[in-house]
A and B are shown apart, each in its own frame.
Chain A
Amino acid sequence: MSRVSSWRGALVLAALVALPALPFMSKFYLLLAFDALLFGAIAMSLDLLIGYTGLVSFGHAAFFGLGAYSTAILLERGVVSLWACLGFAVLVVGLYALLVSYFATARRGIYFALLTLVFAEVVYTFFRYTQTFGGSDGIQGVPPAQLVPGVAIDTPLANYYAVIVYLALAYALCRVLVTSHFGKVLVAIRENEDRARFLGYNVQRYKMAVCMISALLTGVGGALYPGRSAFATPDLMLWTVSGEFIIMVMIGGLGTLGGPIIGGAFFVLLQEQVSSYVDWYFMVIGLVLVFIVLFMPRGLLGFRRMLGFGQWRATA
């Protein structure tokens, strides 16, 4: 990263850190901002797969939900350390992602999407039917996690800053990743998988690696969720949630990292506002999506052309 762009990144971070100081930022808006940035970060991690590698995952909700359940299960049983929760989430999501990515990356295109979807549905069904984890009601009313013993992340402000740290670290990691040699290979795989293979790259290994990274980032995001909402339910893993993640990436702009963050935040805020006025808010969101696909095919932050139209490069 150049020095100038690092400064710009720092400026955005500073703006987000200062956001709670604005007079209209009530507790509710902080919670809303938490959701907006959390789902923005998750959309960004999904962008590594969709935008950079050309792999459309229809199962990211499972990574998110597993992260959330990992935390909720520990919190419910009295393990309130944030680090233990995050560690457990990384372990659980990592093992699951290893399994999914091993099988899914062996296939291309629609088959990759279908395999991720099928695995995610299995996880969803498992949690929905397992009464030990609350069945379809999930785990509710968990206590807040503690940063260190005695310091609980229990206010909207503390949760907001937790998500800022997560977003900043996740963004830095993704940025480093896509500008590295590894990132270039991912783009090469997206552009022409056979050619990348002929050049001597072990394509499946690269795909598995990026799947794992994307899944773990999503899982860590999920692990932060119960701290804010006090629950984890199977609904978090429903395939429609995976679909929403993809929509967030598309709204923001594929292969841009920053775009999906904006896409995620935009989606959450739009959903929140529109659903307060009309019951059929998904129609409005659908129309917005149609508008974006038709008139802004490169997303809100569309510097690059859409996937499949050739010529475009994702990495800077």
Chain B
Amino acid sequence: MKRLTWLAPLLAVALAVALAQPAASQQKVVKIGDLGSKVGVFEGYGKYQSMGIQLAVEEINGKGGVLGHRIEVIAEDDDTKPAPAIRKAEKLILQDGVKLLIGAVSSGSTMAIMDVTKKHKTIHWNSVSCAEFMRTTKFHKYYFSNQPDSRQQATGLAKYILDKMGKKVYIFYTDYAMGQSDGRQFKTALEKLGGEVVGVAGAPLDTKDFSPWFGAINQSSPDVLFLAFAGTDSLRLMTQLHSFGMTKKYKLAGIDCFLLQQDLPAIAEPMEGFVQLNHFSAYNPDPNMQAFNQKFKKKFGVDANIAAGAYDAVYFWKAAVEKAGSFDPDKVSAAHEGLCIDKTHIGRQCIRKEDHQVVMDMHLYRVEKGKNLPIARDRRQGRDRRGHGGPGSAEGLHLGDQEEELAARWTISSRSCCRSSCTASSSGPRWGCWPWA
């Protein structure tokens, strides 16, 4: 028992060292938290999220900040896992006192930290994760998102696939919240429009070898492969599909965050012809998009991508804070509802009151020679987005004559209409909550 004498001082020293924090010297500073994957399978998304935030914060600080406060960003890595994500979210909210938390990247982490932001009443913006649970069963009043969720992506893409690519589709997804959600919603949307799902399979997150699933895909002989993966999973999957000759054999489509534009040139050949629906491409000649991209490129030396949507999240929060005239989470939350901002990269964006989801236009893109090129026009505004010219015009837009314009306006009018049939929630058990239920 002698050793016990060491316990108290050692524990005290360990705690004291760990807890020692530099005293805050700056006055009138408001902190915001940037939580996401900085390393690992979703590293790219987390880094671009940080860049988007940084760009917005520098612009806002340059113009006097928010309500006279200079914004300070505190970034944390969540290790792409729920347990560290929760601990980091608690640190950001309880210790650093952030008034806005942006994150996370992985849907699993985002869902986990939603409990934290709800409990501690903190405005929470999600700009990357797309599982629909965050907008339905886990939704709370402090949560907002400008990342199109699974349902919104599925609706537009399913129609295009049926019209232009084929009726028989095989759905292959990454087996966690995001992939399950994307796969399920795409299946629903496709079948509603008369398409046929010839097979469905899920591979775990961070799978190294996808070939065990290829036999089943080939046996079901689909016209189209719908792929719901992201990050380094997508890179490995495409390389392996290509080496099995399957990227030539089937037409390819997938979710918006399948691969970031920066990754495309490296696997241009396997990705050739891959179709997706999303809200940003550096190769879209639209003036707004090019203006944003130029700004981003000037600052960081690289093109922006969809993960940079966090830029708009900061501006939405700023507008809401200024409208509310305070940082009080209840007032800021209420001020967000129905708020619109203009001249973003995708034009006007508005926050839907019912589920705090940002409504914006989306476009169809197809990968050609490592570039995400637009294949659709926005009918609503009657503007041709396929045109040439404009600042930083995308060189070599090769659009097939057969392509028709397709307005990918989101069709969801309210949250209540779109609750998932799956019963997974914080209030009910998961019995029967299967990916395809």
Chain A interface residues toward B at CB < 8 A: 1-2, 4-6, 8-9, 11-12, 15-16, 19, 24, 26-29, 31-33, 35-36, 76-78, 128-129, 131-143, 175, 229-231, 233, 235-236, 256-259, 261-262, 265-266, 269-270, 272-273, 275-276, 279-280, 300-301, 303, 316
The answer for the CA separation of A9 and B83 in the assembled complex, in Å, is 31
Question: Nearest Cβ in chain A — how far from B118, in angstroms?
Answer: 9
**How would you classify the secondary structure of chain A's contact residues: helix, strand, loop or mixed?**
helix
B115 touches A231 (CB 8 A): yes
**Known interface pairs A131-B430, A233-B83; A15-B11 also in contact (CB < 8 Å):** yes
The answer for the CA separation of A316 and B1 in the assembled complex, in Å, is 7
B83 touches A262 (CB 8 A): no
B94 touches A28 (CB 8 A): yes
Interface string of B23-49 (1 = CB under 8 A from A): 000000000000000110000000000
The answer for the CA separation of A24 and B23 in the assembled complex, in Å, is 12
The answer for the CA separation of A137 and B433 in the assembled complex, in Å, is 13
Question: Nearest Cβ in chain A — how far from B14, in angstroms?
Answer: 6
Chain B interface residues toward A at CB < 8 A: 1-8, 10-12, 14-15, 17-19, 38-39, 76-77, 79, 81-84, 86-88, 90-91, 93-95, 107-108, 111-112, 114-115, 138, 175-177, 180, 204-205, 424-426, 429-431, 433-435
**Known interface pairs A131-B433, A134-B430, A269-B18; A8-B5 also in contact (CB < 8 Å):** yes
CB contacts (< 8 Å) of A29 on chain B: these are: 15, 19, 95
CB contacts (< 8 Å) of A303 on chain B: these are: 2-3
A-B contact pairs, 12 of them (CB 8 A): A12-B4, A129-B175, A135-B180, A136-B175, A139-B430, A141-B425, A142-B426, A143-B426, A233-B82, A233-B112, A269-B17, A275-B88
B431 touches A137 (CB 8 A): no
The answer for the CA separation of A34 and B286 in the assembled complex, in Å, is 52
CB contacts (< 8 Å) of B424 on chain A: these are: 134
B83 touches A31 (CB 8 A): no
From A15, A33, A131, A138, give the contact of B8 (CB < 8 A). Answer: A15
**How would you classify the secondary structure of chain B's contact residues: helix, strand, loop or mixed?**
helix
The answer for the CA separation of A24 and B11 in the assembled complex, in Å, is 15
Question: Nearest Cβ in chain B — how far from A225, in angstroms?
Answer: 9
Nearest-CB residue, chain A, relative to B43: A279
CB contacts (< 8 Å) of B88 on chain A: these are: 275-276
A131 touches B435 (CB 8 A): yes
Q: Given A136-B204, A233-B82, 7 other A-B contacts at CB below 8 A?
A: A5-B1, A5-B2, A33-B15, A128-B204, A231-B115, A276-B76, A301-B6
Nearest-CB residue, chain B, relative to A235: B81
